[in-house]
Amino acid sequence: MYVTYAYRQKHYERRRGGTLFTYHSASQNKIPNREKTKKKGQDTMNNEVNASKTAEVYFTDFRCRPDEGPADKLKRLVMAAGIDRIDMDGKFVAIKMHFGELGNMSYLRPNYARAIVDVVKQLGGKPFLTDCNTLYPGSRKNAIEHLYCAWQNGFTPLTVGCLVIIGDGLKGTDDIDVPVSGGEYVKTAKIGRAIMDADIFISLTHFKGHEMTGFGGTIKNIGMGCGSRAGKKDQHCDGKPMINQDACRGCRRCLRECANNGLVFDEKSRKMSVNPANCVGCGRCIGACNFDAIHFNNDAAVKELNCRMAEYTKAVIDGRPNFHISLICDVSPTCDCHAGNDAPIIPDVGMFASFDPLALDQACVDACLRQMPLPGSQLSDNMSSPHFCDKHDHFGNTNPNTEYKSCLAHAEKIGLGSRKYKLIHNS
């Protein structure tokens, strides 16, 4: 069901290609000492990925009966997709999602998180919601601010039914090096320790546009989202941090985090600077700065970023049961990391679930490309521009300097899953 749509401003012509999707369980590279969590009929630990197979992706729309809501349909969807095949009894279950930046209102509502938490508890699991700290300045760059942000956006133990744990700790430095089986760009991924300590991994994703990667889907939620601050730096940048001298307060907190003599404090000016000869680019100094004075330059090319995200995703899910959910609603043109959001570019589509994260992303992007652009959105405005160059793709036409196909292709190449899928409708 790999569908592409060639369209122009006022005329849309469908061109069907052929893609289905494959049931994925990451490769056989296991995290040391991880207990196998397996039920009869389940093989989410040790299946070899075969890109020629067809994955099952389950789908339901947002239409509801008078006596039910979308959260009820989400519960039915994940059960139909086979989440109960995972033995969760007494196991720690990480539910990875994005809590939204303060000021943003397009992130997933806490009600959806509660639905998945309830299912996990019914299956005997011990769930927690998680995300890792951000590399950039904002309201989620350390665990304290991150938790306050999550609470303010509605993700509290009372509303979601479980604790929120920031995966890479207080300053974004509590990570673990995880080997990437078959990695071409990343040999060892830096993943938040709490995420890797979980026995079972579930991703709950808001599918939307993105200003760098075309769209933000399951692979981005896992790969970029589960990376610690240093892990995010590995994916985003090739370079050293820079210090804004005007913003630097001379407090020297960052100096305590540097183990490589990569920072130099000028006693006369009372300012910190970077010693490029010693700096290893770990990003730990950024987590120590409360004044947003430290940042990275030199973003990696989009293709390399996409490939690194796919490899980080593989590191996260390899060797343990995993399950993935993606909701196509409030499809903003940019990431939920922004302290604000623009109008949706397409109508709400529905909810998707699969054991295969790559199949899930492919199914979601295909579903988005079948939609008509919403009037008054960034997408429709771009298409109305006299200088519009049609990329035959909603996400490419929304953010013309982006692309996502390299991510999907590389994910399939390294065995993350398959781009072939069978879409199964669930009421």
Summarised one tens digit per residue, pLDDT across range 8-52 is 333 323 322 333 323 233 333 334 444 444 554 454 443 445 666
d(CA 375, CA 247): 41
Whether 324 and 247 have beta carbons less than 8 Å apart is answered as no
With pLDDT > 90 as the criterion, what percentage of the chain qualifies? 72
For helices 405-413 and 357-369, the axis angle rounded to 10 degrees is 150
State the pTM of this model.
0.81
Size of the chain in residues: 427
Alpha-carbon separation of residue 25 from 30, 49, 163, 250 (angstroms): 12, 6, 27, 49
What is the rounded CA–CA span in Å between residue 406 and residue 396? Answer: 13
| Residue showing tokens 């343990």 | 320
At 51-104, the pLDDT tens digits run 669 999 999 999 999 999 999 999 999 999 999 999 999 999 999 999 999 999
